[in-house]
Amino acid sequence: MSLDGQLPPKMRLLHAAAELLAKSAGASVSTRQITQLAGLTAPTLYHHFGDKEGLFDAVVTAGFEEYVAGERDFAPSGNPLEDIRRMWDNHVQFGLKQPELYLVMFGNLRPESRPAIVADAESLMEEMLNKAAAAGQLNVQPREAARSILAANVGVTLMLIAEPAAERNLELSTMTRDAMIFAVSPAQAEGAATEDSARSSVVVAAIALNAALQASHSDQLSSSELKLFLEWLHRISTSTSS
Amino acid sequence: MSLDGQLPPKMRLLHAAAELLAKSAGASVSTRQITQLAGLTAPTLYHHFGDKEGLFDAVVTAGFEEYVAGERDFAPSGNPLEDIRRMWDNHVQFGLKQPELYLVMFGNLRPESRPAIVADAESLMEEMLNKAAAAGQLNVQPREAARSILAANVGVTLMLIAEPAAERNLELSTMTRDAMIFAVSPAQAEGAATEDSARSSVVVAAIALNAALQASHSDQLSSSELKLFLEWLHRISTSTSS
DNA sequence: TATCACCTATAGCATTGCTATATGAACTGA
DNA sequence: TCAGTTCATATAGCAATGCTATAGGTGATA
> Mind giving me the DSSP string for A21-81?
HHTSTTSPPPHHHHHHHHT--HHHHHHHHSSHHHHHHHHHHHHHHHHHHHHHSSPP-S-HH
Contact B188, A191 (CB under 8 A): yes
Residues within a 7 A CB radius of strand C: A 28-33, 42-43, 46, 51-53; B 8-10, 39-44, 47-48
pLDDT for the residue B217: 53
Q: What is the pLDDT of residue B26?
A: 84
In which residue ranges of chain B is pLDDT below 50?
1-3, 188-204, 208, 211, 240-242
**B36, B40, B42, B44: CA torsion to nearest 10:** -150
**CA separation (Å) from A192 to A148, A188, B152, B172, B181?**
17, 7, 19, 17, 10
For residue B143, the chain A residue with the least C-alpha distance is: A172
Q: What are the chain B neighbours of A158 within 8 Å (beta carbons)?
A: 106-107, 109, 151, 154-155, 158
Tens digits of residue pLDDT in B10-41: 999 999 999 999 999 889 999 999 999 999 99
What CA–CA distance (Å, rounded) separates A136 from B79?
34
Question: Is the pLDDT assigned to residue A1 strictly greater than 60?
Answer: no
Q: Which protein residues have Cβ within 7 A of any strand D atom?
A: A 8-10, 39-44, 47-48; B 28-33, 42-43, 46, 51-53
| Per-residue pLDDT, A137 | 79
What's the CA gap between A176 and A71, in Å, rounded? 19
Looking at chain A from residue 140 to 199, which residues have their Cβ under 8 Å from any Cβ of chain B? 140, 144, 147-148, 150-156, 158-159, 161-165, 170-172, 174-176, 178-180, 182-185, 187-188, 191-192, 194-196, 198-199
Is residue A130 scored above 80 in pLDDT?
A: yes
CA B62 to chain centre: 17
Distance CA B213, CA A204 (A): 11
Q: What are the tens digits of pLDDT across the range A50-108?
A: 999 999 999 999 999 999 888 888 777 888 889 999 999 999 999 999 999 999 999 98
For residue B129, the one-letter residue type is L
Residue A182 has pLDDT above 60, yes or no: yes
Nucleotide minimizing C1' to CA distance for residue B32: D17
Render pLDDT for A148-170 as a digit per residue (tens, 0 to 9).
Answer: 999 999 999 999 999 999 999 99
* Separation in Å: D12 C1' and A180 CA: 58
Give pLDDT tens digits for A36-50: 999 999 999 999 999
Per the prediction, chain A carries an average pLDDT of: 81
pLDDT above 60 (res A240):
no
Residue B70 near residue B94 (C-beta atoms within 8 A): yes
pLDDT at A203 over 70: no
Alpha-carbon span A14 to A40, nearest angstrom: 12
Q: Residue B15: which of B63, B53, B50, B47 has the closest Cα?
A: B63
Report how far residue A168's alpha carbon sits from residue A206's, in angstroms, rounded to the nearest whole number: 32
pLDDT of residue B227: 67
